Structures are given as C-alpha cells and as structure tokens.
C-alpha cells in the first residue's frame, strides 16, 4: 500500500515534466524558422544615403606602366573599354603633375584613360606612361603579395568573356569558379568568377551574378560588359589599420566583415584551408566603386617588390571625390596620415583643372582626394 502511494505522484510528476519539456522544445522549434530566414542584405544595398557620404566611391584607378601597348590590348580589346590617348602633355603640365603626384622631375610621360561611358558610375583607369622603365610594384602573380591585387569587372556574360580572354592568350589564377549562392529571400543565384593575369603582374576579375541579382557595377546593356566596379587589396596583418583609414578618413561603411576559408578550386588560386578576413568597404550610399580587403591568417605576409604607389609600375593610386576637402584633410592630419601633397590645383587633358590632396594610406598606397 505504501509502495502504491509513493509511486503515483512520481508518475504524475514525470508526465508533467515530459509535457513541459515537449512544450519547451516546440516553442524553440517554432522560433527557429524566423532565425533561419534572416540573411545578410545584398552588397549593393547601401546602409545609408549618399548625402551622408564624406567621400564618394573609387572614381579613378591610376597605373604606372612601361608597357602601354600591352595595357591597350588588355583593357580596350579584352575588356571593351573606351580609350583616350596616349595624350601628350606640355613640359610645364608634366612638371606640375609630377609635383602633385610625387613623380620623378626628370621623367617624361603621357597619359591614357580607359572608361566605359555606356555604364555610368564605373571606375576609369588612368595610365601614366613613362618614357623610361620604372620598377614593378609586384614580383609575381598570386594573392599572397601585399598591396593592390585586382581590378573587378562585373559583367552579364562571363562565359563569353572567359572564352574571349583565353583566346587572346590570358591565363587565369585558377579555373572559372561556378557556384549557386543564396539570395536574401533564400532562393539561389548563379555566380561565376575568374581572375585573369594581365600585363605587369596586373590582375583583372571577371564576375557575373545571374538569376536576377544586380551586378556589382553598372553594365553596358548593349554589350553585357561592365566595370571596373571595385578593387581588391591584400592587407594581411594590417586590416584593422586600413579599415580605420577607409571609415575614419574617407567616411566609408563596411558591408562585409567575415572570416572565410579558401576551398579547392578557389578563384584565388591558393590551396584549400587557408582562413582569411574578407572585408568590403563602400562609400555611403554607393552601389559600386568599393574596396575589397583580404587579410590571410596563419601565414606570413609577402612584401611587394616596391612600395605600392606612384611612380612604381602597377596600381599605385586611387582617386575619390568629396564635397568637404578641408574635413578630409583635418581628419588625416589628426590621425597622423602622411600628406604627400597639400591642397592644390592639378590638371590633365581629360579631367581639366581640379583641386585635390594626396594622402598615403597605411599600406603605402596613394589616395587622391578630389574636391567635387
């Protein structure tokens, strides 16, 4: 009898306990889908308004070169950009630009511009062509070397672009990367990416997003070609410092800050299993013209052969615009950023006259800030 009296409450307790536990798990299960469907917004969706921007997106990428014919073939014939030049400058114009851009005073040079007028807002490429050899910034292809790494060309026909560039003899860091990635609504879209080996250790990325996803820059609707839309830099060991420069001095916003791991067949052409910090910084309100930063973990950085700035051959300067040049300058001075050229007037045959300052970013790349 006593045994029966003591067992009945225990049975009821177990029933209530099991029912309560089941109810708890049911609540957790019901709340799980709400968490699962929460995804990151797309890169091209600004976090703020252009009116909040201190500096705009990358407007010009400047390259110094010893091989103008090779660059003309690569950018004009390969990527379908419009070419202006070579443009001759008077000796007086050359001397003034040499002072502004920290070029050798005894060097003679011309300018070539490449752009894509049918795709507004894309980046122009400005090439300073010297009449004498300049040392190359990079010493090899590949992603391990510090400094500017790629120029990105979003497009809507990557497979055709790939076939054309291969026919022209341009090799790639790795075979074309193809994947199905997730949209914000959970559906999938096609993603294609290839990094091509250009002249003088330059890299160009062909990248396409399909299934209704916006490309990472405007494209020419008649050709399906677009960009340049962004540029990547290897900033291993200094990503925090570069981020502080982009956000604190230029007023950019971060739209990605993640740690990824290289996989087999990665477009970077590296072995699988290497973790790296992946950061994307946009001007506020912008939909293209951004910086992509790579900071590789658990591996020593490889210094570039020469400092990654003018007049060394390769990508050595980025130009952005601002309505508040004095504010940018004040921020740079307060942060201890090196001022290569104080506020002054520059002039070239394409841009005409403009007021600018020239800063050296913490990774030694030149940043030209132009007053709009």
Of the ranges 24-28, 180-184, 240-244, the best mean pLDDT one: 240-244
Predicted local confidence at residue 160, as pLDDT: 97
Q: What value does the mean pLDDT of the chain take? A: 89
Return d(Cα 294, Cα 283) in angstroms, integer.
18
Q: Is the dihedral of CA 138, 301, 254, 322 positive or negative?
A: negative
pLDDT in tens, 273-313: 999 999 999 999 999 999 999 999 988 889 999 999 999 99
Walk me through the domains of the chain, giving residue ranges and CATH numbers: 50-371 (3.10.180.10)
Q: What pTM did the predictor assign?
A: 0.88
Q: Please, which pLDDT band fits residue 1 given cuts at 50, 70 and 90?
A: very low
How many CB atoms are located within 10 Å of the residue 263 CB? 14
Return d(Cα 212, Cα 321) in angstroms, integer.
31
Predicted local confidence at residue 285, as pLDDT: 96
SS3 95: helix
Residue 24 has pLDDT above 70, yes or no: no
Return d(Cα 246, Cα 337) in angstroms, integer.
12
Question: Mean of the pLDDT values across residues 328-355?
Answer: 96
Q: Which residue has the higher pLDDT, 149 or 2?
A: 149
Share of the chain above pLDDT 70, in %: 89
pLDDT in tens, 31-65: 333 222 335 678 778 888 999 999 999 999 999 99
Per DSSP, 245 falls in state I
Residue 14 has pLDDT above 60, yes or no: no
SS3 128: strand
Predicted local confidence at residue 13, as pLDDT: 41
Predicted local confidence at residue 42, as pLDDT: 83
Predicted local confidence at residue 31, as pLDDT: 33
DSSP strand E in the chain: where?
Answer: 60-65, 82-87, 109-115, 124-130, 147-154, 177-182, 188-197, 203-209, 230-234, 253-261, 275-282, 290-296, 314-322, 338-348, 352-360, 366-371
């Amino acid at each position: 009898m006593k045994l029966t009296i003591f067992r009945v409450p225990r049975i009821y307790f177990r029933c209530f306990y099991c029912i309560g536990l089941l109810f708890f798990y049911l609540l957790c299960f019901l709340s799980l889908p709400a968490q699962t469907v929460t995804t990151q917004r797309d890169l091209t969706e600004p976090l703020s308004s252009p009116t909040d921007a201190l500096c705009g997106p990358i407007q010009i990428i400047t390259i110094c070169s010893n091989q103008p014919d090779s660059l003309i073939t690569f950018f004009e014939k390969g990527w379908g950009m419009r070419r202006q030049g070579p443009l001759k400058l008077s000796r007086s114009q050359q001397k003034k630009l040499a002072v502004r851009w920290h070029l050798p005073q005894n060097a003679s040079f011309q300018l070539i511009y490449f752009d894509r007028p049918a795709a507004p807002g894309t980046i122009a490429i400005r090439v300073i062509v010297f009449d004498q050899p300049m040392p190359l910034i990079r010493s090899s292809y590949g992603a391990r070397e510090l400094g500017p790494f790629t120029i990105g060309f979003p497009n809507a026909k990557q497979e055709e672009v790939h076939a054309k560039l291969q026919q022209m003899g341009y090799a790639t860091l790795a075979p074309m990367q193809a994947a199905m990635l997730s949209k914000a609504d959970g559906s999938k879209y096609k993603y294609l990416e290839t990094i091509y080996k250009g002249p003088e250790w330059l890299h160009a990325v062909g990248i396409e997003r399909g299934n209704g996803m916006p490309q990472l820059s405007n494209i020419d609707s008649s050709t399906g070609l677009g960009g340049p839309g962004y540029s990547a830099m290897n900033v291993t060991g200094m990503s925090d410092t570069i981020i502080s420069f982009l956000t604190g001095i230029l007023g950019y916003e971060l739209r990605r800050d993640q740690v990824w791991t290289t996989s087999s067949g990665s477009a970077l052409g590296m072995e699988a299993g290497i973790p790296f910090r992946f950061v994307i910084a946009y001007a506020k309100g912008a939909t293209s013209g951004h910086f992509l930063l790579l900071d590789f973990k658990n591996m020593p950085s490889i210094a570039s052969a020469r400092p990654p700035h003018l007049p060394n051959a390769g990508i050595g300067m980025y130009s952005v615009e601002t309505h508040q040049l004095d504010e940018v300058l004040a921020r740079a001075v307060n942060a201890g950023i090196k001022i290569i050229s104080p506020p002054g007037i520059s002039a070239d045959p394409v841009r005409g006259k403009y007021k600018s300052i020239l800063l050296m970013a913490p990774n030694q790349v030149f940043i030209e800030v132009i007053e709009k």
